[in-house]
Structure 1
Amino acid sequence: MIHNLSDVHTVNIGTDTNVWQFCVILQGAIIGKNCNICSHCLIENDVTIGNNVTIKSGVQLWDGIKIEDDVFIGPNVTFTNDKKPRSKVYPDTFLETKIEKNASIGANATILPGVVVGEYSIVGAGAVVTRDVIAHSVVVGNPARVIEK
């Protein structure tokens, strides 16, 4: 189901995926099966989303972001893809940010470019992830630090 108030340009959306109102999805994006893309999301071209992924409202996925299967992205999670952003100045390539399978990212967390959020890890609400998150861990705070392994 793609809501008629969304602007979807890709044909690469798996079966049983829902895209809710006021989403913009660019032509090169790849989205797997049985995903839920909630309202007010933006997904750029060089983005890959696996199967069974939930992306809550207010999330922007910029070029270079790869999300594996069974991931939860909470509301208003902020991803970045440029360590030195300047107006009208773009890098030749954007850093790849990878969210591995079964990871969960809490509301309003910020994920800096080029990090890997390990499988089955949890990023607490409001955390600022500045470096890789090890698999099966829980991180919180600014900068995010491991509180549980």
Structure 2
Amino acid sequence: MYIIHPLADVKTDKIGTGTRIWQYAVVFEDAVLGEDCNICAHTLIEGDVIIGDRVTVKSGVYLWDGARIESDVFIGPNATFTNDPMPRSKVYPDRFFGITIRRGASIGANATLLPGVTVGEYAMVGAGTVVTEDVEPYAVVAGNPARVLRFLSGKSF
């Protein structure tokens, strides 16, 4: 069983047990949401998005086609995901470049991730960071552009 707030607009039926979707969330047909996720208010998830288990998507996050979010990921409020490297009004690319967030990673509030980047397992992206390249597993990154501040050990999370 999952819970969908009556003010959410959810078109997919591919939702795992225990997932909660709050008011004003929009989830397109064919999106896949795992078990025990928390999809907060004022979010949007397009149809070619796959979300693993125990993922938190905070308010103001839009996940565009091609995004792949593995299990145990935290996405902070207003984090910005992109999928078109040369956006123009009414001009669409042949394909979109989705963002991949690996297991256990955390994305801070207001971080911006450019098309096609991968954030490695258990990495942490600081609030306001602009991610222009892949982030290594266990790396803590911050700044514009993102730079590695340190690496986490198993005792850090």
TM-score normalised by length of structure 1: 0.99
**How big is each residue's C-alpha offset from its partner over 1:87-144, in whole Å with a ceiling of 9 and x where there is no partner?**
0011121113100000000000001010000000000000000000000010000000
Is 1:139 the equivalent of 2:141? yes
Which residue is equivalent to 1:72? Answer: 74
**Structure 2 counterparts to residues 1-149 of structure 1, below 5 A:** 1-149=3-151
For 2:19 and 2:32, locate their aligned partners in 1 and report how far apart those are by CA, in whole Å.
Answer: 12
Q: CA RMSD in A?
A: 0.5
Secondary structure class of the residue paired with 1:147: strand
TM-score normalised by length of structure 2: 0.94
Amino-acid identity (%): 63
| Partners of 2:82 and 2:98 within 8 A in 1 | no
**How big is each residue's C-alpha offset from its partner over 1:59-108, in whole Å with a ceiling of 9 and x where there is no partner?**
00000100000000000000000000000011121113100000000000
> Given residue 113 of structure 2, which amino acid in structure 1 is its aligned partner?
I
* CA drift at 1:28: 1.4
Q: Aligned residues, how many?
A: 149
Runs of 4+ residues deviating >4 angstroms: none
